[in-house]
Amino acid sequence: MTLLDGKTLSNAIQDEIKKETDEFRKQNITAGLAVILVGDDSASQSYVKMKEKACERAGIYSILHKMPSSISEDKILETISMMNQNSNIDGILVQLPLPRHVNQTKIIEAIDSAKDVDGFHPFNVGRLAAGLDGFVPCTPLGVMRLLEHYKIGVKGLNACVVGASNIVGKPMMNLLLNAFATVDICHIYTKNLASHTKQADLLIVGAGKAGLITKEMVKDGAIVIDIGINRLENGKLVGDVDFENVAPKCSFITPVPGGVGPMTIAMLLENTIKAAKNRAR
């Protein structure tokens, strides 16, 4: 069993990005990322802080627009419009979730698709589905980079994705299809989940439920990617996979924390650099 170390790979990618941003500066170009954070959700605040630190380390200019949870939808849209027109900003990221009174789809669609470094805009979603170049959501993109780094080819593998969100599950499915894996995608209404997961050479789980995947649900020698991150009552962070009991059955598995999470940050920085390069052209 081999651990897929996302933390070490993420750090290496960020070091390479720093070299690129240093070269950019010689051309008087500074890559810029703007983040909108609405409300006081502790997980969102923690994640945004990690993004800020990563930007600073990689030499990317970042600005945070922090807004109260009571802010109107129109005010958020005004801020997005301002950033769309700001030539110093290459990437715009709206931290999810948003308060209930805000239409999330409307907010995402308001972002210039050329600055959509989260890859959530319908334009980029469509390009991914069609196998065309665009911005890809950071978490599934990070999974693909992790597999590539460990020389795990997905072509021809039976892959099962557990979780069908627009942020992780669906783009993960499309990336795997584009790489010629055979993909089975499961969700909350899937009957007999184990009958799907036990067939998978590659099992990718992002359902947000601690311990969802047990050893009985995984075939011997499977590659298991755990995207879930859950905090137990004792404060411990765990994934969606029962790591202790599942790991001995696997050929490869990601730890939580230290697996996919750091790769998400690295891919956000890569997408921001990609947007900056597009602007420079």
227, two tokens: 């995207």
Q: How far apart are CA 150 and CA 207, in angstroms?
A: 24
Annotated active-site positions, please? 51, 95, 118
Q: Judge whether 200 and 118 are in contact, CB under 8 Å.
A: no
* Cβ density class 124-159: b for 16+ within 10 Å, e for less: bbebbeeeeebbbbbbbbbbbbbbebeebebeebbb
DSSP state of 238: E
3-class secondary structure, 1? coil
Phi-psi region of 256 (alpha: psi -120 to 50; beta: other; left: phi over 0): beta
